[in-house]
Structure 1
């Protein structure tokens, strides 16, 4: 296995996090492309629940895409990885916030085995609370990159995900994950973010 800085058999965990529209998936794809250029074997996992742009690819908001293994949960990642692990150097996981907490133990174990693991995902939910399992993954990671978007209201750095339902801020009691609902998300700064 080839290491990020040239060392052999040295695994670690990288987390790319931040608000929606900050470029997390773009950064994940950039790192994957660099690993491929370095002749490393990469596998990319994406949660089944994230079907916004494609059923079988990681797709960024600006249209960049790459083929991915679609999985239900962390145990599905583990099962699929066991079938291919002798060929892999780098494991990339998009939308980490949509996985169960079993992801934490799995990726820590993979890093301990010498794999480079890269995870991209939201650090906070729409109400500004830590979006598990991402906070714990950040705590366990060797490298954390926190990206910001631009606030749609005031143009300051956006660090919050604003959920709007019928044009109104969502309530703090609304479900954290809502798939296929009639809602909209915006990137906002601390001051412009609102929750009922």
Structure 2
């Protein structure tokens, strides 16, 4: 968490100083550019704080993914889980490709065109400008990886919960169709117990 605090504090400080500089020099386009950087940054910070605040719940869900209750389904029912895994993997590959291309462009463009970084240093640092550019690239990589990473984490966990609810529904529907009002047999009773345990774990 300390790394997140340092990176985000430094980034916000540079942005605020750049906005103040833009106001002082009367550069509306520069101010707009800084504001458009602030907006996704605030969105990322909100997601990061939400994940940190509810960390114990997310860790519990991840821990439960390895439990027997979440992994007792037959091959047909596990298709729900496999579908979520395929979607998550596809989304990760898409984000990885997009981030990789954009990051390479952001690295090469300022060097080739000899322009200032997207978020320039608000003060003249002379010969330390190269150090600032290196840190700028490192911080850009940090946000490029962590922001979609938060989205993918939340999307995948939500998708798994939905898949488990679909599995629970199918198991209960199958029991209702197979029982037909007859006395509950031991196998049916066992399945009901498993459904209750699964429902309880989903609620947690």
Relative to its length, the structure with more strand (as a share) is: 1
| TM-score, normalised by the number of residues in structure 2 | 0.26
Relative to its length, the structure with more helix (as a share) is: 2
| TM-score, normalised by the number of residues in structure 1 | 0.27
